[in-house]
Structure 1
Amino acid sequence: MSNPILNLGATELGTAIRTGTLTVEDVVSAYLDQIDASNTAINAIISLRPRDEIMAEASEMGNSDPAGALHGLPIAVKDLADTKDLRTTHGSPIFKDHIPKADSLMVSRLRQAGALIIGKTNTPEFGLGSHTYNPVSGPTRNPYDLTRSAGGSSGGAGAALAARMVPLADGSDMMGSLRNPAGWNNVYGFRPSYGLVPPNPVGEVFLHQLSTAGPMARSVEDLELLLRVMAGPDPRSPHSGATFAQMDARSAKGTRIGWIGDWGGYFPMEPGVLNLCENGLTTLADLGCDIETIKPEFSPEKLWQSWITLRSWDIAGSYSYLYENPETRDLLKPELIWEIELGLSLSAQEINNASDIRSDWFRAVATMTDVDILALPSAQIFPFDVTLDWPKEIAGRRMDTYHRWMEVVIPASLIGLPALSVPVGFNQISLPMGLQLIGHRGSDARVLGLGHAYHQRTLWPQKHTPVLG
């Protein structure tokens, strides 16, 4: 990556543009050149706008006053978010020619902050599964090993960041969908407290609280930059209301971290995952954190049962209209059909029981007064063969669903906790891994502050860039 612009963080680029050290055209052209050089092999960016059209917009931005914090920064939006006049497929052949007439709320906030939308990032069909492949755009490959998965569902975003094809990326996270690809691409991904980033205000907005959008970046400082744009109340969203100003600048010293690890052997782990995460915890200990191995007094199997119930109920509510139409049902992948059928089979009592478990878990975490942060691996397995649909076993233990191999992320997802995936290094065959740092509800600033201190000590994304042919 010979162009030094690509080694600057998004915050640095913004400063350079505002002070005139760099022009918007300089920045955008550098990233488009990198896309030309790398994207054919990786397939992270899709629906890329014509270069002359993008550069004309860059020139116009360069001749105007900065519009906001993201002025002139090229961003590709995850292909689950509507972008006006730019193809949005959701990874589904049903929507392969879909051109939205309006931006989603999150995209409109990016534009208002001055971002230059250049295209989309690839995602699995409707974002289901932590492996980015679909029949419309194909698979996204890991920049650190092109034979491996980039994760998902924000796999295109994670891979594009790692390969320096964008300076920032939006992700979304239901079941680790930005934490998994962050870990697998040696970048950062932040799932904020539920409601901090409001959902698109369409359809049902009261019941389902499992998924949220969040920022991805190569530093925590850049995560903060994008989060300030994405976050903030929207009067049409009943669960929003919080604002985000800045990360907590207090010292990491004295922060109490509860390391759950594999939850006493409950989570199967590929060899090497726990070791790398423990190396990351050693760095946090060197920063003054107090690390304690803990085993929560709660049944992780109950969490799983609550999760699959509430998740399938949510998915059935969103996509049953496609299932009920025979023409579109034939175009749905089997995993989505399984989710919808499970969701439609649930009784009101089963849903209520699942939410009871969720409520009990929230109370259990909220009353953990002896820890400030919970820590878990970002995934239970290293990036796997890109040609697989999903791993059928981990460490000899069979996976009974297409997403059980990512069970380690649901303790945060189920109850809307802020969770930051930080890089922790590479295994013996140079595959990356991440560590989740999970805070109490509303402690987003503290989680990011801890992550920032960790990043300043480690600089994993800056010191270990992928080598692409």
Structure 2
Amino acid sequence: MTDTRPLWQWSASEIAAATRSGSLSASEVTEAAITRMEAANPDLNAVVESLAEEARTDAAALDASFDPKGPLHGVPVTIKINVDQKGHATSNGVVAFKDIIAPDDATVVRNLKAAGAVVIGRTNTPEFSFRADTDNPLYGRTQNPWGPHISPGGSSGGAGAAVMAGIGALAHGNDIGGSLRFPAAANGAVTVKPGLGRVPAYNPSQTSERGLLAQSMSVQGLIARNAADLHLSMPAMIAPDARDPFHVPMPWRGAPIEPPLRVAVASDDFGFGMDPAVRTALDKAASALSDAGYAVEAVEPPLARETGETAYRTLLGEVHAMLGPDIRAYGSEEINAIFDEYYRQFPPYEGNDLLKMLAQRTAFARNWSLFLEEYPLVLTPFMLTPFFAPGRDIEGADGVREVLGCSHWSFIMNFLGLPAGNLPTHVAETAEGPSPIGVQIAGRRWREDLIVDAMQAIEARIPPTCTRLWAG
């Protein structure tokens, strides 16, 4: 039977199968992706630098080769503007950085290209990539393809909006406190935040090293429309690079676990309250996993609230010391006001207190590791309400609290260096319009494969939301 869907709706797995078999050329796929980008992006501002001509050249080179280059042969992807791509600006959404031209490709760009992916554009991020919404003075606001009533999330908001609009089958992003999972939740996409050391990272344009906690919490990843595409693409992302001396060179697939695999379902709202739509999404995910043969139990992991609050204050302590002067000097009034509110709600640890909390991180991680020995996966809420409106975090204390202040389930996983996936399991009908609701699945260290397996099991019972989005 002939597939009548436009190529921009094909998954990365479908595209790769067709290009590797020779039934589609990389140039055909690339041209379809560029056409879709040119049609959809003016309303979204997700891609802030088109690489159409470079993409056409790269696709033609792939077609001229005798054999498929790798597992992502001809798959169109986008790259976030806070990562180096040779000859292009690594602006991080900051006007003062608009002329920082990368001398070489970052590791993640190199790995994707080596696997055969074709980069079609670079996607938007908020200033300094440190906000759960995507807007900046350099490129402006990114819109959510579900409508103007929902923020596209951040900081990989351009990536999330692009992939769900069909601008590329995969979108690169990164995550220090939720920057892959916020956009996935906002746009109804699927992602897995890798654990510490899983994906090598290096920006050739950097002039100094990041803080120790930033190195421990920040990871590179991909946003997709279904979990199968993560199994296809993430093995390419974890290819080693000696420029990251702390990369852990482990295979994507770990040792099998004898079924039934136990899943702890956590529903702590940390005193903020949980919207009924979020409860519905969590219940749907738990039911789907149970139906798939997982042993699902309502169990709260240890010290969740304490871990989240310590994570906020410790990270902000390092940010205040190391990044704070640049934010004051080069950031807009808006981003500085947001940071001032961050600091008020979660006073940064300083001096000896900061060192003590960095040490205490190991105790939190040990407790979680022991818990994950018994429950290899943990299903949690992500946001506690349907996703917030654009600009919510500039609306004072209440806005910041709704956007980041209650997002403990996100920060916990970065602080502990644990992998965590996000996928939509419900679409809420709000007064403003439909809103996808994502849930989070965290897992054992270096077992992203178990998380993606579980997300696939859920998707077999709850179809991906892109089908509804594209149907209007």
TM above 0.5, one fold?
A: yes
3-state DSSP class of the match of 1:132? coil
Conserved? CA contact 1:306–1:355, under 8 Å: no
Are 1:285 and 2:313 matched, yes or no?
no
Deviates more, 1:341-350 or 1:179-188: 341-350
Q: How does 1:67-216 map to 2 (within 5 A)?
A: 67-200=69-202, 203-204=208-209, 207-208=212-213, 209-216=216-223
Task: Note the aligned Cα RMSD (angstroms).
Answer: 2.9
Are 1:373 and 2:377 matched, yes or no?
yes
3-state DSSP class of the match of 1:357? helix
Unaligned ranges ≥5, structure 2: none
Change (3 A) 1:214 1:267: farther
3-state DSSP class of the match of 1:190? strand
Change (3 A) 1:403 1:462: closer
Report how far residue 276 of structure 1 moved: 1.6
Aligned to 1:266: 271
Conserved? CA contact 1:425–1:460, under 8 Å: no
Q: How does 1:221-370 map to 2 (within 5 A)?
A: 221-246=228-253, 254-263=260-269, 265-298=270-303, 300=305, 302-316=306-320, 318-320=322-324, 322=326, 326=329, 328=330, 333-335=335-337, 338=340, 346-368=349-371, 369-370=373-374
Q: Name the aligned partner's letter for residue 429 of structure 2.
A: Q
Unaligned ranges ≥5, structure 1: none
Q: Percent identity?
A: 27
Find the aligned partners of 1:281 and 1:110 in 2 and give their Cα distance. 33
Find the aligned partners of 1:216 and 1:34 in 2 and give their Cα distance. 18
- Per-residue CA distance 1:375-411 (angstroms, 9 max, x = gap): 1112223222224345667xxx785596314232122
Match of 2:224 among 217, 239, 263: 217
3-state DSSP class of the match of 1:133? coil
Conserved? CA contact 2:418–2:444, under 8 Å: yes
Report how far residue 363 of structure 1 moved: 1.3
Q: Name the aligned partner's letter for residue 362 of structure 1.
A: A
Report how far residue 337 of structure 1 moved: 5.4
3-state DSSP class of the match of 2:378? strand
Conserved? CA contact 1:86–1:119, under 8 Å: no
Report how far residue 288 of structure 1 moved: 1.6
Q: Name the aligned partner's letter for residue 363 of structure 1.
A: R
Match of 1:444 among 448, 455, 469: 448
Aligned to 1:385: 389
Conserved? CA contact 1:190–1:215, under 8 Å: yes
Report how far residue 297 of structure 1 moved: 4.1
Aligned to 1:428: 429
Find the aligned partners of 2:253 and 2:403 in 1 and give their Cα distance. 37
Aligned residues: 459
Deviates more, 1:201-210 or 1:79-88: 201-210
Conserved? CA contact 2:137–2:332, under 8 Å: no
Find the aligned partners of 2:280 and 2:340 in 1 and give their Cα distance. 35
Q: Name the aligned partner's letter for residue 349 of structure 1.
A: N
Conserved? CA contact 2:392–2:403, under 8 Å: no
Change (3 A) 1:377 1:400: closer
Conserved? CA contact 1:258–1:293, under 8 Å: yes
Conserved? CA contact 1:195–1:241, under 8 Å: yes
Find the aligned partners of 2:283 and 2:368 in 1 and give their Cα distance. 22
Change (3 A) 1:306 1:13: same
Report how far residue 165 of structure 1 moved: 0.9
Report how far residue 9 of structure 1 moved: 1.4
Change (3 A) 1:291 1:330: closer
Change (3 A) 1:437 1:304: closer
- TM-score with structure 1 length normalisation? 0.89
Q: Name the aligned partner's letter for residue 99 of structure 2.
A: D
Report how far residue 177 of structure 1 moved: 0.9
Report how far residue 241 of structure 1 moved: 2.0
Change (3 A) 1:21 1:297: closer
Q: Name the aligned partner's letter for residue 382 of structure 1.
A: P
